[in-house]
């Protein structure tokens, strides 16, 4: 009852000063809206990184050569020749947490079909590669283990390569292309995957048996990478440990600090990137919070003015029997009303701008429910916090002094 | 015979302004019994408002004793004082002190908002009744800026009546009014007084004092006269005697 009356008084004061209230709210509105939008952008990019990386195969494990951290000059991983087919076979035979594995050799070169040519990369792998990367074929079929054994000159190509070397819309299956002057018969086209998180075009690729790439194109007998997939995403950490141990035995390394290889799971990659974007989110939210703080100070400022301006009114209310606590509550409710309705408008603005950001800037966004709840709670607290002091001051006034105030 | 509603003993009130000290009241004592109608007179600056503020529990004396209805005011907390102001006292200020941009009705309702025993409906009913008593039933929705000085004064009077106080303290309630309106208001006060409400009324004007049963005269913070009025005039009769031309 009493509270309802005080609420009515506070509400009336706000309505009587519409413009001023709105301007006061503006700080809070902008603050809340930017917190929500920033969090949405942060969450969105985190989520898109996660789905993007997951789409590349979330249980992928890669084994690369690496220079032991204690050794002097670091060679680039591609130039290192420490990874061999023997390693691959050991890993494949001994690891229990892996379902598939393939050696990987890569090279760059020119794809040529008649007068059309296109610079691309070639990946030498075994047939398991498609299962590891979770890639399907649009048409044609994968090469077989037999074709790997015989180092057949067959290849699968991605859509970007198709578009550039078969511009006439010709069916590439069965056609001959040349990669660095070595003829390959196209036996399949990979499904379209688009760009990955790192902006790499995943369709700009030629896939061929690793034996063929090793012998005909690169003329090497080592391999660049071993790519494998863990039995499940949960088993990825176990697989990493297991593979590392196998590799250490293979390379006769007793001290893990002297590893000449690195084993990495996609999970680790995801968390690396997530933490980067998390930092970004924290930064964005910090900036947004500052504007919320400024909004709060705006409320405090206007409540101060309001208390000063209405000192006579306060005196009168006290003279007719208003208690200090009534006055305190009245001004506190007023501050909370301003901040909470500002918060509500801010949430609305935040959601709308998130939609706009998604639509027109094409940034991935994801509005987290918690961001709405938190900014709303922060608003209420801001109202109480910044309204308290002026309200407290008003309630401590002496009735007669307040009445005489000019 | 009847009980003492106000009892003050040797009240002083000093105002310190920097190094200077103003002694607004210099030791005042009197008692007012229930049902008395007292006018407090004196020249400007003699301490009338200061005294009334203390009687109204708006201000505290520098020294001395004040009992209202048997309660020692000095021992009361801020909240208890607020409750006394809310339930026992109707105060009319020298300047009307109405809430701007607020209707007459809401202004009159104001004291009852702070009394949680009174429902919204009762509050409204009592405010309407009080406005009727001062003849403003057709001005209830007007805000102070839409009312004349006399009408504002009457809204302030209605506000002091609305909580059914045991005592009304009026500081120059007729100060800004023409004779006719002043007499009308005095007749309202006389009616209220007949109903048993104690009234302390500050005024400058001798003729207004003739409507009361007792007069206290202040000078420089001291009481110089305190006398019973044997021949109380009826404001209603005086009103009838006034020439009717201005109506
Ligand atoms: N808050 C205050 N601070 C300082 N001096 C004050 C204060 N209130 C009153 N006084 C002084 O106390 C004296 C009495 O003032 P008071 O208002 O009681 O006079 P009054 O009799 O009501 O006069 P008037 O008829 O003009 O209203 C005056 O000299 C005034 O200057
Ligand atoms: Mg005065």
Closest residue CA from atom 3 of ligand 1: B15
Contact A318 B116 (CB under 8 A): no
Q: What are phi and psi of B174, to 5 degrees?
A: -115, 10
What stretches of B195-245 show up as alpha helix (H) in DSSP? Answer: 206-209, 235-241
Which of B25, B44, B47, B219 maximizes ligand 1 atoms within 8 Å of its Cβ, making it the mutation to test the pocket?
B47
> Mean pLDDT across chain B, nearest whole number?
91
Question: B234 with B213: CB under 8 angstroms?
Answer: no
Q: What is the pLDDT of residue B94?
A: 85
Which positions in chain B have a beta carbon within 8 angstroms of at least one beta carbon in chain A? 53, 56, 58-59, 78-79, 82-83, 85-87, 91, 93, 97, 99, 101, 110-111, 113-116, 119, 159, 163
Q: What is the pLDDT of residue A1?
A: 56
Residue A31 neighbours by CB distance under 10 Å: 29
Q: CB pairs below 8 Å between A and B: how many?
A: 62
- Helix H, strand E, coil C: the string for chain A is CHHHHHHHHHHHHHHHCHHHHHHHHHHHHHHHHHHHHHHHHHHHHHHHHHHHHHHCCCCEEEEEECCCCCCCCCCCCCCCCCCCHHHHHHHHHHCCCEEEEEEEEEEEEEEEECCEEEEEEEEEECCCHHHHHCCCEEEECCCCHHHHHCCCCEEEECHHHHHHHCCCCCCCCCCEEEECCEEEEEEEEECCCCECCCCCECCCEEEEEHHHHHHHHHCCCCCCEEEEEECCCCCHHHHHHHHHHHHHHHCCCCCHHHCCEEEEEHHHHHHHHHHHHHHHHHHHHHHHHHHHHHHHHHHHHHHHHHHHHCHHHHHHHHHCCCCHHHHHHHHHHHHHHHHHHHHHHHHHHHHHHHHHHHHHHCCCCCCCHHHHHHHHHHHHHHHHHHHHHHHHHHHCCCHHHHHHCC
Which residue in this structure is represented by tokens 């001023």? A20
Q: What is the pLDDT of residue B8?
A: 96
Instruction: Please list the ranges in chain B whose pLDDT falls under 50.
Output: 247
Closest residue CA from atom 1 of ligand 1: B15
Q: Which residues, 6 or more positions from A292, have their beta carbon under 8 angstroms from its beta carbon?
A: A28, A31, A32, A35, A375, A378, A379, A382
C-alpha closest to that of A66 among A54, A57, A76: A76
Residue A110 neighbours by CB distance under 10 Å: 13
Residue to test with chain A: of B17, B61, B82, most A Cβ within 10 A = B82
So where are chain A's domains?
A: 2-52+273-404, 67-259
Question: A107 with A223: CB under 8 angstroms?
Answer: no
Q: What is the pLDDT of residue A110?
A: 92
Nearest chain A Cα distance for residue B187, angstroms: 24
Pairing, β A205-209 against β A116-125: parallel
- Determine the 3-state secondary structure of B33 from DSSP: strand
Which residue in this structure is represented by tokens 């994801």? A366
DSSP B85-106: HHHTEEEE-SS--PPTTS-HHH
A395 → chain B, closest CA residue: B78
C-alpha closest to that of A101 among A228, A208, A13: A228
So where are chain B's domains?
A: 36-48+85-240
Give residue B105 CA to ligand 2 midpoint distance, Å.
Answer: 27
The complex scores an ipTM of: 0.93
Instruction: Please list the ranges in chain A whose pLDDT falls under 50.
Output: 70-71
Give residue B24 CA to ligand 1 midpoint distance, Å.
Answer: 7
Ligand approaching nearest to the C-alpha of A404 = 1
In Å, how far from its chain's centre is CA A137? 28
Q: What is the pLDDT of residue B2?
A: 74
Q: What is the pLDDT of residue A119?
A: 93
d(CA B168, CA B93): 11
* Closest ligand 1 atom number to CA of residue B52: 18
Residues of B with Cβ-Cβ distance to A325 under 8 angstroms: 79
Residues of B with Cβ-Cβ distance to A395 under 8 angstroms: none
Q: What is the pLDDT of residue B12?
A: 96
Domain B36-48+85-240 bears CATH identifier 3.40.50.300: yes
Pairing, β A137-140 against β A205-209: unpaired
Who lines ligand 1 at CB under 6 A? A 404; B 15, 17, 22, 24, 42, 44-50, 94
Ligand approaching nearest to the C-alpha of B45 = 1
């Amino acid at each position: 009852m009493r509270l309802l009356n005080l609420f009515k008084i506070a509400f009336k004061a706000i309505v009587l000063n519409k413009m001023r209230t709105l301007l006061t709210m503006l700080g809070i509105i902008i603050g809340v809206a930017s917190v929500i939008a920033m969090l949405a952008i942060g969450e969105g990019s985190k989520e898109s990184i996660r789905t993007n990386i997951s789409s590349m195969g979330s249980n992928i494990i890669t084994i690369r050569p690496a220079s032991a951290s204690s050794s002097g000059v670091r060679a680039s991983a591609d130039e290192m020749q420490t990874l061999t087919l023997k390693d691959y076979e050991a890993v494949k035979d001994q690891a229990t947490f892996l379902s598939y594995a393939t050696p990987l050799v890569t090279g760059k070169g020119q794809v040529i079909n008649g007068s059309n040519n296109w610079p691309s990369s070639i990946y030498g792998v075994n047939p398991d590669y498609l299962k590891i990367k979770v890639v399907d074929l649009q048409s044609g079929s994968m090469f077989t283990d037999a074709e790997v054994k015989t180092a057949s000159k067959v290849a699968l190509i991605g859509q970007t390569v198709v578009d550039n070397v078969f511009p006439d819309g010709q069916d590439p299956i069965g056609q001959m292309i040349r990669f660095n002057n070595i003829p390959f018969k196209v036996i399949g086209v990979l499904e379209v995957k688009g760009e990955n998180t790192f902006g790499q075009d995943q369709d700009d690729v030629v896939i061929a048996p690793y034996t063929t790439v090793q012998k005909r194109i690169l003329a090497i007998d080592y391999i660049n990478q071993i790519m494998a997939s863990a039995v499940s995403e949960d088993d990825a950490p176990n697989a990493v440990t297991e593979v590392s141990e196998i590799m250490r035995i293979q390379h006769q390394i007793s001290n893990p600090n002297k590893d000449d290889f690195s084993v990495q799971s996609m999970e680790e990659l995801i968390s690396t990137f997530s933490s980067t974007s998390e930092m970004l989110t924290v930064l964005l939210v910090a900036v947004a919070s500052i504007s919320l703080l400024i909004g709060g100070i705006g409320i405090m400022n206007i409540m101060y003015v309001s208390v000063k301006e209405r000192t006579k009114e306060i005196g009168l209310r006290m003279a007719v029997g208003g208690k200090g606590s009534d006055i305190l509550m009245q001004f506190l409710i007023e501050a909370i009303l301003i901040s909470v309705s500002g918060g509500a408008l801010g949430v609305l603005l935040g959601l709308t701008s998130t939609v706009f950001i998604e639509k027109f800037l094409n940034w991935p966004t994801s509005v987290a429910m918690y961001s709405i709840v938190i900014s709303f709670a922060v608003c209420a607290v801001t109202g109480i916090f910044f309204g308290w002091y002026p309200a407290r001051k008003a309630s401590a006034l002496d009735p007669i002094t307040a009445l005489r105030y000019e | 015979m009847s009980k003492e509603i106000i009892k003050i003993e040797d009240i002083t009130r000093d105002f310190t302004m920097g190094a200077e000290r103003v002694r607004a009241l210099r030791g005042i004592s009197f008692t007012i019994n229930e049902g008395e109608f007292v006018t407090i007179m004196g020249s400007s600056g003699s301490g009338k408002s200061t005294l009334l503020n203390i009687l109204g529990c708006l201000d505290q004396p520098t020294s001395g004793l004040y009992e209202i209805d048997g309660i020692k005011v000095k021992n009361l907390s801020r909240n208890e004082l607020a409750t006394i102001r809310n339930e026992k006292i109707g105060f009319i200020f020298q300047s009307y002190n109405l809430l701007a941009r607020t209707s007459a009705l809401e202004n009159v309702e104001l004291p009852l908002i702070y009394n949680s025993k009174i429902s919204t409906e009762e509050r409204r009913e009592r405010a309407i009744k009080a406005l009727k008593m001062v003849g403003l039933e057709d001005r209830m929705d007007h805000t102070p800026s839409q009312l004349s000085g006399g009408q504002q004064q009457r809204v302030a009077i209605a506000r002091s009546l609305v909580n059914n106080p045991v005592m009304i303290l009026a500081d120059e309630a007729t100060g800004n009014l023409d004779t006719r309106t002043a007499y009308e208001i005095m007749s309202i006060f006389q009616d209220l007084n007949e109903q048993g409400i104690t009234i302390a009324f500050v005024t400058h004007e001798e003729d207004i004092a003739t409507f009361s049963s007792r007069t206290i005269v202040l000078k420089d913070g001291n009481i110089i006269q305190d006398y019973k009025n044997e021949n109380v005039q009826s404001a209603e009769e005086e009103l009838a005697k006034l020439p009717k031309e201005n109506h």
